[in-house]
Amino acid sequence: MTTGPEPAFRPAAPETLTTDVLIVGGGMIGLTAAIAVARAGLSVIVAEETPPPPTLLPAFDGRVSALAHGSCQLYRALGLYDALAADGQPILDIHVTDGRLGEAASPLFLHFHHGDVGAEPFGLMVENRHIRIALHRALERIADSSNRQFAQMSLNGAVLPETALAAEERVRLLAPVKVAATARDGAFATATLADGRAVRCRLIVACDGRHSPLREAAGIRTVAWDYRQAGIVATVEHERPHAGVAYEHFLPGGPFAILPMTGNRSSLVWTERADLAPALIALDAADFDAEMRRRFGTHLGAARAVGPRFSYPLGFHIATRFVERRLALVGDSAHGLHPIAGQGLNLGLRDVAALAEVLADGCRLGLDPGDPTLLARYERWRRLDSVVMGTVMDGLNRLFSNDAPPVRLLRDLGLAAVNRLPPLKKFFMQHARGSIGKLPRLLDGRPL
């Protein structure tokens, strides 16, 4: 054995961070989950692979989310509602019609007025980027004052290599960093980050979106199908005010939704056959506007599309299990729906509220956040609701994307019948508001 001088350089051991809960994915669901789980009294690390600034700019995501009344209550309870409402448009009425291109809408329609189920609007339309900005600012507000760089970063769009935030020392955002691998055993879960660091925790919450790498790695299967439809999203400026009315116009290619935004603006979610969508998106402004107006109608006066256009492939999926040992699926990692009634994010926020409540109750009892009984309670609570919502949205899309005359006649009569039957109408309105079923405390606007 030879002895000699110590090597000049010895690589440092990779850093291991520890936390109660690791949230993988810092989209709208992951960031909301981080704030809610921290409120439950647990320490949280969020790992997001995309740097924050691009996700806060208009070109990243043109969608506008219809936050149902229940989701608004959750954001109220988390102290975020005022920030969202400052950039949001309340939905006061919902008007549903059936039609064909170039023909007048059927005279049989369905109209929901928010006043029929209470004083509050059906929900709030908020641009996704405003939701992201509000969530990042909430993290900033509760951040360690030494970390003011992040406030500047999210406001001026500069890219920083990594941002670490402390929420009363309980929430830390790591971005951009990808979770490369995870391992879960009886006592702990460990995630390996792409930069070589590791995170050791009690529970991993997968908020990593519809293609969820964590769900795949855990061997959780999905029931899934493709609608062969695309959701074309664009913002339209129009001459007359929309008065807070959301229009859902059913056309043979799929639903054409005109959703009220602030000012004389509306957001289109235009469902079209997937093979036709690329050509529509590529049209020049005049031709795109001409196609858009054939569907949009003239009720809001002259209208033109402004800003970028987006196209999203539409499909359905639901995970066969929502939990595994020390792992919970939340949001699009657990389920994905047709956006026919704008319920995908709302369903994910219901997951967040249920998981935070289960973890808060577990904390009070001194249980490990990865305790199988807590995870089983979360799964029981959320899976059935998700299956029901997914099936209803799937059925509606199939029913209303069908151009066969007998089907059209039946559904038009159905719309008119619901419009004239107050108890049935009220039932649908309560669904649209997201205020039906056993609600977690946060969805009722109550603290954890």
Ligand X SMILES: Cc1cc2nc3c(=O)[nH]c(=O)nc-3n(C[C@H](O)[C@H](O)[C@H](O)COP(=O)(O)OP(=O)(O)OC[C@H]3O[C@@H](n4cnc5c(N)ncnc54)[C@H](O)[C@@H]3O)c2cc1C
Residues contributing to the site for ligand X (CB under 6 A)? 24-30, 47-50, 63, 65-66, 178-179, 207-209, 213, 231, 233, 269, 312, 331-332, 339, 342-346, 348
Position with the least CB separation from ligand X: 27
Dmax over CA atoms of the chain, in Å, equals 94
Of residues 173 and 345, the one with the C-beta less far from ligand X? 345
Confirm if 206 and 25 have CB atoms less than 8 A apart: yes
Nearer to ligand X, 106 or 386 (CB): 386
The rounded distance, in Å, linking the Cα atoms of 344 and 381 is: 17
Closer of 97 and 343 to ligand X (Cβ): 343
Least distance from C-beta 441 to ligand X, angstroms? 20
261: which DSSP letter?
A: E
Whether omega for the bond prior to residue 7 falls within 30 degrees of 0, making it cis, is: no
Q: Which CB sits closer to ligand X, 106 or 346? A: 346
Q: How many CB atoms lie within 10 A of CB 20?
A: 21
The residue (of 89 and 346) whose beta carbon lies closer to ligand X is 346
Residue identified by tokens 């406030």 is 151
Cβ 224 to ligand X shortest distance, Å:
15
- The residue (of 207 and 415) whose beta carbon lies closer to ligand X is 207
335 burial (CB, 10 Å; 0-12 / 13-18 / 19+) is: buried
State in angstroms the smallest separation of the CB of 149 from ligand X. 21
C-beta of 8: minimal distance to ligand X in Å? Answer: 35
Dist CA 403 CA 193 (whole Å): 50
The CB density around residue 382, as the number of other CB atoms within 10 Å, is: 27
Min dist. Cβ of residue 9 to ligand X (A): 30
Pick the closer one to ligand X by CB: 106 or 311.
311
Q: Which long-range contacts (CB under 8 A, 24 or more apart) does 185-191 make?
A: 185/325, 185/326, 186/325, 188/326, 189/22, 189/326, 189/327, 189/370, 191/22, 191/24, 191/47
SS3 of residue 135 by DSSP: helix
User: How far apart, in whole angstroms, are the C-alpha atoms of residue 79 and residue 139?
Assistant: 12
Closest distance between ligand X and the C-beta of residue 121, in Å? 14
Minimum distance from CB of 27 to ligand X (Å)? 2
